[in-house]
Structure 1
Amino acid sequence: MTIPFLIPDSATPSGGTLYDLRLARAWPGLRIVALPGAWPCPGPAGTRALERALDRVPDGGRVLLDGLVACALPEVIVPHARRLRPVVLVHLPLALEGGLDPDTARDLDIRERRVLESCAAVVATGRWAADHLGARHGLPEVAVVPPGVASAPLAPGTSPGTPPRLLCVASLTPRKGHRVLFEALRHLTDLDWECVCVGPGRPPPAPAGVRFTGPLHGADLDAAYDRADLLVLPSLAETYGMVVTEALARGIPVLASDVGGVPEALGGTSRSGTPGMLVPAGSVEEWSRALRLWLGDPRSRHRWRVAAHARRATLRGWDESAHALRHVLDQV
């Protein structure tokens, strides 16, 4: 018997969507049910689709819900929680999304708390995220199921004599911090570099040398990683940062904001050193300084690359993530 896994029906790639789909692929015991709507504000059609999906679960049955689907609709989830065993997988607390006005953020926070308090279990995608959710909503226990990563060949990067290439894989939203990255790059016009930004959204103003590709999938995304020398992730808020481990799986070092669960994704030091650097979120000055260090010092680039190759061997696969989630659901 499979467990329904209710997720947003979205053609726009995101870390949360990829996590859901890869987890279900690794564990056939999950059955994806994609719900229409602009979640977490789905409108009447999306709300009805959620209600119908929950109505089909027999009394006492287990159901797994993506937090985007569940957390904004306590009026739907709480009544069903009295007869079902719902488990909510939270990728990002709703109020942490960038660009929200204070009243909207406060309302989403209250709604999320009501939903999570009613559920049989709550799952977060990392230790930092679990601790944050527990403290934010007074939850006695939050399970941790970190993302896995698929094995990948080492990325060759750019050829000698060509400008080093930075790669940013992130939706073009305020929370991802592209503005900070671009301001930092404007201070580095005396150095050779190019920066490729992959992700959905409207491109913001950027300095010369920055190129936007829009969202990429499959072989096209693999090719973008293959040609990268450094992954940059300037997020202002991040519960984990799957693109960090996606880069490390290819031996690509990382420069990222020291925020949320990103240090967890980057991992600790090894004999080879740290596979990158963490800098304060939102600090143009610190981002500029770190980029100048990496761009201007070939020895630093080599050390980071060697450490990234070492970190690559320690990454967990999606089968381990699926096993961890199955253990949580078996306890419900």
Structure 2
Amino acid sequence: MTRAVFAIPGDKDRRTGGFLYEATVLRVLNEIGVKTAHLQLPDSFPDPTVADMAETLAALNAVPAHQPIILDGLVFGAIDPAGLAQVKAPILAMIHHPLGLETGLAPERAAFLCENEAQALGFAAHIVVPSPHTAEVLARDFGADPASITVAPPGFDRPVLNASRADPPLILSVGLLARRKGHDVLLDALSLITDLHWNAVIVGKAHDQHTANALRTQCRELGLSQRVTFAGELDGPELAEHFNAASIFALATRYEGYGMVLSEAMFYGLPVVSCDVGAVPETVGEAGILVPPDDPAAFANALRRLIEEPEIAAQFQQLSLERAKSLPSWRDTARVFERVIRQVS
């Protein structure tokens, strides 16, 4: 008997943190005997057409009342709250981070999404988030009842370590070519350390073509084209090769609700350079150097320190490996979902 439904917009197998999280939880729930059906919703969220909104609400309303719906946050934050109130099945809101906190939104759009998500939370039977930070934000700024929130940190598959550090040192960054990921800040930072020997690879597909084009133009104008590669989206084995070849992981992000790729980098023993924003401090802990967001000079200084002081880099490498040991498996994460499903059924 189907125990729950996981409703995800578009292709669930997209290689971004949120979709990797949800697709893996869906798979592992079924592996541990919690039969969970996949419900594919229209892929236009968080900017649905009128037709897609109607199709989504109809699909959710068709789910039997005894089957909880785990509802992806791209849909949950943008859905019509009045329509959501009519859904018979209990709603488990899976919120990676509130949609209104996305970088680059027009102020009126951000305000609408924040208000819409706050209203929708009133119709959620429970809320699942990947980090204590996101739980705190929802309770403090969106009026969510802390007792209705469960933290389910992402799980991780332990990678095969085959470190073959590139020479010159490889600085690796992984994230969508989106403004929130701060690749523009990373490029500015790299332009300040061209006196050092290094190469850099930025892995990630274009979130929007305008940002992707702007990043490539910026790279060319900074004179970095011979040292920085935009690798696009890579599959698991190709990405593992880059992690094993890298000496530093760098993500100049402007906000993260968790930041799975930061933890992934720690499994490979990489020192992390990132920003003191969102859930990054609680994700990275002492395993990296965190600087203020939108500060290329501070980011460059952190990179320079790790390149010029190998003994410091080695200390952070060890801290990364130690922190990774405490991270959960995907089965651990799925068990958290199982408990929540039982609670609301």
The aligned residue for residue 329 of structure 2 is 317
Aligned 1:66-85 pairs, distance under 5 A: 66-75=72-81, 77-81=83-87, 83-85=88-90
Indicate whether 1:112 and 2:117 are aligned: yes
* Cα distance in 1, alignment partners of residues 14 and 49 from structure 2: 18
Deviation at 1:122, TM superposition (A): 1.2
Find out whether 1:255 has 2:273 as its counterpart: yes
Instruction: Specify which of 224, 227, 230 is matched with residue 245 of structure 2.
Output: 227
Q: Following the alignment from structure 1 to structure 2, what is the Cα–Cα distance between the partners of residues 61 and 80?
A: 15
Encode CA deviations 1:46-78: one digit per residue, 9 max, x unaligned. Answer: 323312321221134311101111221124643
Provide the alpha-carbon RMSD of the alignment.
1.6
8 Å CA contact retained: 2:306, 2:312 = yes
- Output the amino acid matched with 2:181: K
Inter-partner Cα distance in structure 2 for 1:287 and 1:138: 35
Q: Partners of 2:280 and 2:188 in 1: how far apart? A: 21
In the alignment, the residues of structure 2 paired with residue 6 and residue 261 of structure 1 have an alpha-carbon distance, to the nearest angstrom, of 25
Cross-structure match for 2:21: 19
Contact residue 14 and residue 20 of structure 2 kept, 8 A: no
- The offset of 1:285, in angstroms, is 1.8
Distance 1:239 1:75 in 2: 23
Residues 209-252 of structure 1, C-alpha deviations (whole Å, 9 max, x = no match): 11101111222222222211111111111111000111112222
Corresponding residue to 2:165 among 140, 151, 158? 158
What is the distance in 1 between the residues matched to 2:16 and 2:82?
A: 25
Superposed structure 1 runs of 4+ greater than 6 Å apart:
none
The 2-side partners of 1:166 and 1:220 are apart by: 16
Tell me, yes or no, if the aligned pair for 2:3 and 2:68 is still in contact at 8 Å. Answer: no
Is 1:54–2:66 an aligned residue pair? no
TM-aligned CA distance change 1:3 to 1:76, over 3 Å: farther
1:297 equivalent to 2:299? Answer no
1:129 is aligned to: 134
Gaps of 5+ in 2: 207-211
Q: Is the 8 A contact 2:45 2:75 kept in 1?
A: yes
Cα deviation, 1:289-312, whole Å, max 9, x if unaligned, reads: 111101111111211112222223
CA distance in 1, matches of 2:71, 2:84: 13
CA distance in 2, matches of 1:276, 1:79: 44
Change in 2 beyond 3 A, CA 1:282/1:7 = same
In 1: Cα distance, 2:114 partner to 2:78 partner: 8
Q: Verify the 8 A CA contact 2:192 2:297 in the aligned structure 1.
A: no
Matched, 1:144 2:151: yes
**Residue in 1 that maps onto 2:9:** 8
Displacement of 1:155: 4.5
Distance change (3 Å), C-alpha of 1:304 and 1:19: same
TM-score with structure 2 length normalisation? Answer: 0.89
Give the match for residue 197 of structure 2: 192
In the aligned structure 2, how far is the partner of 1:235 from the partner of 1:244? Answer: 11
Contact map agreement 1:37 1:43 (CA 8 A) in 2: no
Alignment of 1:176-215 (within 5 A): 176-201=181-206, 202-203=212-213, 204=215, 205-206=218-219, 207=222, 208=224, 209-215=227-233
1:260-312 CA distance string (max 9 Å, x none) = 11122213xxxxxx322111121112111111101111111211112222223
Alignment-mate amino acid for residue 259 of structure 2: G
Give the C-alpha shift of residue 119 in structure 1.
1.0
